[in-house]
Protein backbone atom coordinates (compact mmCIF):
# COMPACT_ATOMS: atom_id res chain seq x y z
CA UNK A 1 0.00 0.00 0.00
CA UNK A 2 1.21 3.50 -0.77
CA UNK A 3 2.12 5.63 2.22
CA UNK A 4 0.01 8.69 3.07
CA UNK A 5 1.22 12.06 1.83
CA UNK A 6 2.22 14.36 4.66
CA UNK A 7 2.33 18.13 5.00
CA UNK A 8 4.58 19.27 7.85
CA UNK A 9 4.61 22.82 9.21
CA UNK A 10 7.44 24.12 11.40
CA UNK A 11 11.10 23.13 11.13
CA UNK A 12 12.53 24.43 14.39
CA UNK A 13 14.48 22.54 17.05
CA UNK A 14 11.85 19.81 17.26
CA UNK A 15 10.10 19.95 13.89
CA UNK A 16 13.25 19.51 11.83
CA UNK A 17 14.09 16.24 13.56
CA UNK A 18 10.52 14.99 13.24
CA UNK A 19 10.38 15.82 9.54
CA UNK A 20 13.66 14.02 8.90
CA UNK A 21 12.29 10.91 10.58
CA UNK A 22 9.28 10.97 8.26
CA UNK A 23 11.54 11.20 5.23
CA UNK A 24 13.69 8.39 6.61
CA UNK A 25 10.55 6.25 6.94
CA UNK A 26 9.69 6.87 3.30
CA UNK A 27 6.65 9.11 3.63
CA UNK A 28 6.03 11.57 0.75
CA UNK A 29 6.58 14.92 2.46
CA UNK A 30 5.84 18.58 1.79
CA UNK A 31 7.26 21.06 4.31
CA UNK A 32 6.63 24.68 5.16
CA UNK A 33 8.64 26.92 7.45
CA UNK A 34 8.26 30.65 7.91
CA UNK A 35 12.04 31.00 7.57
CA UNK A 36 12.64 29.46 4.16
CA UNK A 37 16.36 28.97 4.82
CA UNK A 38 15.52 26.22 7.31
CA UNK A 39 13.32 24.50 4.73
CA UNK A 40 15.94 24.51 1.97
CA UNK A 41 17.92 21.43 3.08
CA UNK A 42 14.77 19.30 2.97
CA UNK A 43 14.55 19.67 -0.80
CA UNK A 44 17.90 17.90 -1.08
CA UNK A 45 16.47 14.82 0.66
CA UNK A 46 13.32 14.58 -1.42
CA UNK A 47 10.77 16.82 0.31
CA UNK A 48 8.73 19.42 -1.49
CA UNK A 49 9.41 22.85 -0.01
CA UNK A 50 6.21 24.89 -0.09
CA UNK A 51 5.95 28.67 0.01
CA UNK A 52 2.77 28.65 2.09
CA UNK A 53 0.99 26.22 4.42
CA UNK A 54 -1.82 26.06 1.89
CA UNK A 55 0.56 24.88 -0.83
CA UNK A 56 2.04 22.23 1.48
CA UNK A 57 -1.43 20.98 2.40
CA UNK A 58 -2.59 20.48 -1.17
CA UNK A 59 -3.34 16.79 -1.71
CA UNK A 60 -1.94 15.86 1.74
CA UNK A 61 -3.54 12.99 3.64
CA UNK A 62 -2.01 13.98 6.97
CA UNK A 63 -1.21 17.52 8.09
CA UNK A 64 1.13 18.07 11.07
CA UNK A 65 1.98 21.33 12.80
CA UNK A 66 4.96 21.81 15.14
CA UNK A 67 5.26 25.53 15.82
CA UNK A 68 5.97 27.83 18.75
CA UNK A 69 2.66 28.99 20.19
CA UNK A 70 -1.03 29.84 19.66
CA UNK A 71 -0.27 32.71 17.29
CA UNK A 72 2.04 30.60 15.14
CA UNK A 73 -0.52 27.79 15.09
CA UNK A 74 -3.28 30.12 13.91
CA UNK A 75 -0.97 31.50 11.21
CA UNK A 76 -0.31 27.99 9.90
CA UNK A 77 -3.87 26.70 9.89
CA UNK A 78 -6.14 29.68 9.22
CA UNK A 79 -6.51 32.40 6.61
CA UNK A 80 -6.29 32.54 2.85
CA UNK A 81 -2.85 30.91 2.80
CA UNK A 82 -3.46 28.63 5.79
CA UNK A 83 -3.40 24.86 5.59
CA UNK A 84 -7.13 24.38 6.21
CA UNK A 85 -7.94 26.32 3.06
CA UNK A 86 -6.50 23.42 1.05
CA UNK A 87 -7.24 20.50 3.38
CA UNK A 88 -9.28 17.79 1.66
CA UNK A 89 -12.19 15.98 3.26
CA UNK A 90 -11.01 12.93 5.16
CA UNK A 91 -7.52 14.28 5.83
CA UNK A 92 -6.23 14.06 9.40
CA UNK A 93 -5.02 17.32 10.94
CA UNK A 94 -2.56 16.96 13.83
CA UNK A 95 -1.49 19.77 16.13
CA UNK A 96 1.74 18.69 17.82
CA UNK A 97 2.71 22.14 19.06
CA UNK A 98 2.47 23.04 22.74
CA UNK A 99 -0.52 25.38 22.56
CA UNK A 100 -3.47 26.29 24.74
CA UNK A 101 -6.45 23.97 25.06
CA UNK A 102 -8.70 26.73 23.69
CA UNK A 103 -6.52 26.96 20.57
CA UNK A 104 -6.76 23.20 20.05
CA UNK A 105 -10.54 23.13 20.41
CA UNK A 106 -11.00 25.98 17.95
CA UNK A 107 -8.79 24.20 15.46
CA UNK A 108 -10.68 20.93 15.93
CA UNK A 109 -13.97 22.67 15.16
CA UNK A 110 -12.51 24.32 12.06
CA UNK A 111 -11.09 21.00 10.84
CA UNK A 112 -14.46 19.31 11.32
CA UNK A 113 -16.12 22.07 9.27
CA UNK A 114 -13.75 21.15 6.43
CA UNK A 115 -14.67 17.48 6.73
CA UNK A 116 -11.31 16.62 8.26
CA UNK A 117 -10.43 14.56 11.32
CA UNK A 118 -8.37 16.12 14.12
CA UNK A 119 -5.93 15.08 16.84
CA UNK A 120 -4.01 17.14 19.34
CA UNK A 121 -0.75 15.22 19.72
CA UNK A 122 1.95 17.23 21.47
CA UNK A 123 5.20 15.48 22.38
CA UNK A 124 7.53 15.11 25.32
CA UNK A 125 11.24 14.83 24.72
CA UNK A 126 14.05 17.09 23.52
CA UNK A 127 15.53 17.88 20.13
CA UNK A 128 17.77 14.82 20.61
CA UNK A 129 14.70 12.60 20.91
CA UNK A 130 13.12 14.29 17.88
CA UNK A 131 16.22 13.67 15.81
CA UNK A 132 16.35 10.00 16.82
CA UNK A 133 12.63 9.24 16.50
CA UNK A 134 12.17 8.64 20.24
CA UNK A 135 9.54 11.20 21.17
CA UNK A 136 6.47 10.45 23.28
CA UNK A 137 3.13 11.50 21.78
CA UNK A 138 0.29 12.57 24.09
CA UNK A 139 -2.86 12.23 22.02
CA UNK A 140 -6.32 13.69 22.36
CA UNK A 141 -9.06 12.86 19.87
CA UNK A 142 -11.05 10.00 18.33
CA UNK A 143 -9.41 6.54 18.58
CA UNK A 144 -10.28 5.81 14.94
CA UNK A 145 -8.38 8.90 13.77
CA UNK A 146 -5.38 7.89 15.86
CA UNK A 147 -5.31 4.41 14.36
CA UNK A 148 -5.47 5.93 10.91
CA UNK A 149 -2.24 7.86 11.48
CA UNK A 150 -0.51 5.57 13.96
CA UNK A 151 2.22 4.53 11.45
CA UNK A 152 2.99 8.21 10.85
CA UNK A 153 3.35 9.00 14.56
CA UNK A 154 5.25 5.75 15.15
CA UNK A 155 7.94 6.87 12.68
CA UNK A 156 8.72 9.80 14.97
CA UNK A 157 8.24 8.26 18.38
CA UNK A 158 8.97 5.68 21.03
CA UNK A 159 5.49 5.73 22.56
CA UNK A 160 2.00 6.92 21.62
CA UNK A 161 -0.42 7.45 24.51
CA UNK A 162 -4.14 8.08 23.87
CA UNK A 163 -5.58 10.25 26.64
CA UNK A 164 -9.20 10.93 25.76
CA UNK A 165 -11.15 13.54 23.80
CA UNK A 166 -9.74 16.51 21.92
CA UNK A 167 -7.80 18.77 24.27
CA UNK A 168 -6.57 15.97 26.53
CA UNK A 169 -3.13 15.84 24.95
CA UNK A 170 -2.72 19.61 25.04
CA UNK A 171 -3.75 19.82 28.70
CA UNK A 172 -1.41 17.07 29.89
CA UNK A 173 1.46 18.57 27.91
CA UNK A 174 0.98 21.90 29.70
CA UNK A 175 0.88 20.14 33.06
CA UNK A 176 4.01 18.18 32.13
CA UNK A 177 5.88 21.31 31.11
CA UNK A 178 4.87 23.38 34.12
CA UNK A 179 6.20 20.62 36.41
CA UNK A 180 9.45 20.70 34.41
CA UNK A 181 9.59 24.50 34.55
CA UNK A 182 9.16 24.51 38.33
CA UNK A 183 12.03 22.01 38.66
CA UNK A 184 14.32 24.12 36.47
CA UNK A 185 13.50 27.27 38.45
CA UNK A 186 14.19 25.55 41.78
CA UNK A 187 17.43 24.04 40.44
CA UNK A 188 18.60 27.47 39.25
CA UNK A 189 17.97 28.90 42.71
CA UNK A 190 19.67 25.94 44.39
CA UNK A 191 22.70 26.26 42.10
CA UNK A 192 23.19 29.88 43.11
CA UNK A 193 22.89 28.96 46.81
CA UNK A 194 25.53 26.25 46.39
CA UNK A 195 27.93 28.52 44.52
CA UNK A 196 27.61 31.44 46.95
CA UNK A 197 27.83 29.30 50.06
CA UNK A 198 31.25 27.87 49.34
CA UNK A 199 30.03 24.29 49.21
CA UNK A 200 31.90 21.97 46.87
CA UNK A 201 29.63 22.32 43.84
CA UNK A 202 30.49 18.97 42.28
CA UNK A 203 29.76 17.08 45.47
CA UNK A 204 26.61 19.04 46.19
CA UNK A 205 25.24 18.40 42.69
CA UNK A 206 26.10 14.71 42.98
CA UNK A 207 23.88 14.53 46.07
CA UNK A 208 21.04 16.37 44.31
CA UNK A 209 21.19 14.59 40.98
CA UNK A 210 21.74 11.09 42.38
CA UNK A 211 19.25 11.51 45.23
CA UNK A 212 15.51 12.12 45.48
CA UNK A 213 15.53 15.42 43.51
CA UNK A 214 17.40 13.85 40.61
CA UNK A 215 14.75 13.73 37.90
CA UNK A 216 15.92 13.39 34.29
CA UNK A 217 15.48 17.11 33.67
CA UNK A 218 17.37 18.07 36.83
CA UNK A 219 20.27 15.80 35.86
CA UNK A 220 20.41 17.15 32.31
CA UNK A 221 20.00 20.83 33.09
CA UNK A 222 22.43 20.73 36.04
CA UNK A 223 25.19 19.76 33.64
CA UNK A 224 24.36 22.62 31.29
CA UNK A 225 24.23 25.13 34.15
CA UNK A 226 27.62 23.93 35.40
CA UNK A 227 29.36 24.03 32.00
CA UNK A 228 27.83 26.62 31.34
CA UNK A 229 26.32 25.61 28.00
CA UNK A 230 23.17 27.41 26.89
CA UNK A 231 23.01 26.04 23.35
CA UNK A 232 19.25 25.76 22.77
CA UNK A 233 17.64 22.42 23.44
CA UNK A 234 14.48 23.98 24.87
CA UNK A 235 14.21 27.75 24.49
CA UNK A 236 13.77 29.63 27.75
CA UNK A 237 11.08 31.89 26.26
CA UNK A 238 9.04 28.88 25.17
CA UNK A 239 9.05 27.44 28.67
CA UNK A 240 7.76 30.80 29.88
CA UNK A 241 4.99 30.55 27.29
CA UNK A 242 4.08 27.05 28.46
CA UNK A 243 3.99 28.15 32.08
CA UNK A 244 1.70 31.04 31.16
CA UNK A 245 -0.70 28.70 29.35
CA UNK A 246 -0.64 26.31 32.32
CA UNK A 247 -1.43 29.14 34.73
CA UNK A 248 -4.38 30.10 32.54
CA UNK A 249 -5.67 26.52 32.40
CA UNK A 250 -5.37 25.98 36.16
CA UNK A 251 -7.88 28.73 36.79
CA UNK A 252 -10.49 26.81 34.80
CA UNK A 253 -10.29 24.03 37.39
CA UNK A 254 -10.26 26.37 40.42
CA UNK A 255 -6.65 25.41 41.16
CA UNK A 256 -4.40 28.13 42.58
CA UNK A 257 -1.28 28.05 40.32
CA UNK A 258 1.15 28.91 43.11
CA UNK A 259 4.27 27.06 41.92
CA UNK A 260 3.61 27.55 38.21
CA UNK A 261 3.07 31.28 38.68
CA UNK A 262 6.21 31.63 40.80
CA UNK A 263 8.28 29.79 38.17
CA UNK A 264 6.74 31.94 35.45
CA UNK A 265 7.91 35.05 37.30
CA UNK A 266 11.48 33.75 37.32
CA UNK A 267 11.39 32.77 33.65
CA UNK A 268 10.11 36.21 32.74
CA UNK A 269 13.10 37.67 34.54
CA UNK A 270 15.28 35.42 32.43
CA UNK A 271 13.71 36.82 29.28
CA UNK A 272 14.12 40.38 30.55
CA UNK A 273 17.80 39.65 31.19
CA UNK A 274 18.27 38.64 27.54
CA UNK A 275 18.24 34.84 27.89
CA UNK A 276 14.97 34.15 26.06
CA UNK A 277 16.58 32.56 23.01
CA UNK A 278 18.98 30.46 25.05
CA UNK A 279 18.41 27.07 26.63
CA UNK A 280 16.31 26.86 29.80
CA UNK A 281 19.55 26.20 31.70
CA UNK A 282 20.38 29.89 31.28
CA UNK A 283 17.77 30.60 33.96
CA UNK A 284 20.53 30.10 36.54
CA UNK A 285 22.02 33.40 35.44
CA UNK A 286 19.01 35.19 36.94
CA UNK A 287 20.12 33.98 40.36
CA UNK A 288 23.84 34.24 39.72
CA UNK A 289 23.34 37.92 38.94
CA UNK A 290 21.09 38.44 41.94
CA UNK A 291 18.12 39.41 39.77
CA UNK A 292 16.05 36.52 41.13
CA UNK A 293 16.38 37.52 44.77
CA UNK A 294 13.26 39.66 44.72
CA UNK A 295 11.29 37.66 42.19
CA UNK A 296 7.60 38.41 42.54
CA UNK A 297 4.75 36.09 41.75
CA UNK A 298 2.88 37.54 38.74
CA UNK A 299 -0.85 37.93 38.85
CA UNK A 300 -2.54 34.83 37.51
Q: What interhelical angle do 168-197 and 101-113 show, nearest 10?
A: 150
Annotated active-site residue in 24, 38, 127, 173: 173
Beta bridge partners of 235: 279
- Whether 173 is a known active-site residue: answer yes
Find the largest Cα–Cα distance for the chain: 65
Closest CA to 157 of 298, 25, 278, 3: 25
C-beta neighbour count of 294 within 10 angstroms: 7
Dist CA 37 CA 39 (whole Å): 5
Contact call for residues 89 and 115 (beta carbons, < 8 A): yes
Contact call for residues 21 and 88 (beta carbons, < 8 A): no
Closest CA to 288 of 185, 223, 196, 181: 196
C-beta neighbour count of 118 within 10 angstroms: 25
Catalytic positions, please?
Answer: 173
Amino acid sequence: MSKPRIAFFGLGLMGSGMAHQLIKAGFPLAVFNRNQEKAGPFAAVGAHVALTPREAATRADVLISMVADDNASRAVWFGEYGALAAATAGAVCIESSTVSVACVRKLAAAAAARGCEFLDAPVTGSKVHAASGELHFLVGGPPAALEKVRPVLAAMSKTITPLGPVGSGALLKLINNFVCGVQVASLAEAMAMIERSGLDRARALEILTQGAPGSPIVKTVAGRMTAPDYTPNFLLRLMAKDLAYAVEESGKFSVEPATAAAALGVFRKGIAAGHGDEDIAALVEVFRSGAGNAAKTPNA
